[in-house]
Amino acid sequence: MQHAQAAGAADDIDSRRAWLRLLAIVLLCLIGSAPMWSVVVMLPAVQAEFGTARADASLPYTMTMVGFVFGGVLMGRLSDRFGTMVPVAVAAVSLAAGGVAAAMAPSIFVFGLAYGLLMGCFGAAAVFGPLIADASLWFSRRRGIAVALAASGNYMAGTVWPPLLQWGVDTIGWRHAHLAMGAVCIVTMLPLALALRARAPMPPAPPPRAAGAPAVMPLGLHPNVLQAILGAAGIACCVAMAMPQVHIVAYCVDLGYGAQRGAEMLSVMLAAGIVSRLAFGAVMDRIGGLRTLALGSALQGVALFLFLPADGMVALFAVSAVFGLFQGGIVPSYAMIVREYFPPAQAGTRVGIALSSTLVGMALGGWMAGAIFDATGSYRAAMWNGIAWNLVNLAIALWLLQRAMRRQRGAGWTAAAAAP
């Protein structure tokens, strides 16, 4: 019986069933990531409604990011214990409740709580790390492209939701737009969650470690140490990534091109990022997660350098596209590395932690770039700051890759010595 279950699980890997599940995951990521973009689109209308300063109006975005970070870990644990359908169902209900709470908010603080707690922590967080981890469990030969497709859902949301939400704000007002967004989430996500009701196929559990036997040390490191190093790498790469993504609109305004041109550049960047994630997914299937992280980090550094001399509108559009194409593979590579070096049963939690660290980097990097601009009156120093953080990420990636290659060589020599 146990053998038959194992065979059945093996048959599901890379199967048609796995690809249909991946389609549901991408759609869930696209729909459930709405709060990541609605909080930005609604900002001017919410600021005008409550009569707050721009800094106070930005509080909901900060609360959303904080909620997303904690929710990524919490929902990952829930996914590991009960399966992915449970956190997704929780997210659908929470997003609907968050839409109602935001629509009825009497103050900017209550509005921020609706985003941070209901739509961030218990909502959108469930359709990022846990779903990317779930996709990785159903694929072996095409794991890289599966992870990349799942991770692309967030960027797809960035191309679909903002124009729809802006139309809603203009026609029915921001409060009713939140109600509509919540209704769309619960009506579409609950049926899609049913596609995830089957638990991911798991390989047979390894036998218990004998007393005195050495612990499993991925890359020669304690598992939690490796997790912490991946977290540091995630923060560093996304501090660098945040500079163009968060500030390109403001940069265009400073150069006299206007906010509309900046928004168009951001759209070009995100669209190129979708292409990049799919291309890097195919690359990951060939060279693995660590090499892809190092490659993506090096290319992102090149793209950041290209922003330094670019101040013409055509040049900025071109560099924005290049940046999107070069950086899109970095974030999915962390999920791939976790799957390569940690047990499958821990995927939801550990992928959630790794990807939450990238959000910490985005939040920190966006703030740092703004603070440096306030201090210097220019984004040039902020760009150099991003480049420095990118070099930290590249150094970590190359160090981990060097450890992996050294251990592979050692295993090869051991096998050769043991051969008759």
Highest mean pLDDT among 50-54, 81-85, 387-391: 387-391
pLDDT digits (tens, 9 = 90+) for 75-121: 988 998 999 999 999 999 999 999 999 999 999 889 999 999 999 99
Q: Would 215 be classed as within a structural domain?
A: no
Residues 252 and 193 in one domain: no
Give the count of domains, the chain.
2
Q: What is the pLDDT at residue 215?
A: 58
Residue 160 structural domain:
11-200
Q: Decide: pTM greater than 0.75.
A: yes
Residues 240 and 178 in one domain: no
Residues 315 and 368 in one domain: yes
Residues 306 and 346 in one domain: yes
Interatomic CA distance for residues 343 and 203, integer angstroms: 10
Residues 187 and 294 in one domain: no
Residues 158 and 52 in one domain: yes
How many angstroms separate the Cα of 326 from the Cα of each of 39, 295, 321, 410?
Answer: 27, 9, 9, 33
Q: Would 105 be classed as within a structural domain?
A: yes
Which residue type, as a one-letter code, is found at position 397? A
The residue from 170, 200, 230 where one domain ends is 200
How many angstroms separate the Cα of 123 from the Cα of each of 61, 205, 261?
Answer: 14, 32, 31
Q: Average pLDDT of 29-46?
A: 85
Residues 273 and 172 in one domain: no
CB of 360 closer than 8 Å to CB of 69? yes
Q: Which residue has the tokens 């794991």?
A: 143
Closest-CA residue to 219 (of 417, 394, 346, 399): 399
pLDDT above 80: residue 73: yes
Q: Would 230 be classed as within a structural domain?
A: yes
* C-alpha dihedral (354, 359, 361, 366), degrees to nearest 10: 170
Q: Average pLDDT of 128-143?
A: 89
Residues 314 and 268 in one domain: yes
Q: Is the four-CA dihedral 46, 48, 51, 57 of positive or negative sign?
A: positive
Residues 6+ apart with CB under 8 A from 133: 76, 79, 335, 338, 339, 347, 348, 350, 351, 352
What is the b/e burial string over 105-144, where b = at least 16 CB atoms within 10 angstroms of the residue's CB? beebeebbbbbbbbbbbbbbbbbbbbbbbbbbbbbeebbb
Q: Would 412 be classed as within a structural domain?
A: no
pLDDT above 60: residue 267: yes
Q: Average pLDDT of 139-167?
A: 87
pLDDT band, very low/low/confident/very high, at 6 (cuts 50, 70, 90): very low
Residues 153 and 250 in one domain: no
Residues 189 and 307 in one domain: no
pLDDT above 70: residue 65: yes
Residue that wins the pLDDT comparison between 208 and 103: 103
The residue from 200, 229, 249 where one domain ends is 200
Q: Would 323 be classed as within a structural domain?
A: yes
Q: Would 174 be classed as within a structural domain?
A: yes
Residues 173 and 66 in one domain: yes
pLDDT band, very low/low/confident/very high, at 48 (cuts 50, 70, 90): confident
Q: Would 205 be classed as within a structural domain?
A: no
Q: What is the pLDDT at residue 95?
A: 97
pLDDT digits (tens, 9 = 90+) for 323-365: 989 988 898 999 999 989 998 888 888 988 898 898 888 888 8
pLDDT above 60: residue 417: no
Q: Average pLDDT of 309-319?
A: 87
Arithmetic mean of pLDDT over the chain? 85
Q: Average pLDDT of 4-13?
A: 55
CATH of the domain at 310: 1.20.1250.20
Q: Would 279 be classed as within a structural domain?
A: yes
Residues 88 and 232 in one domain: no
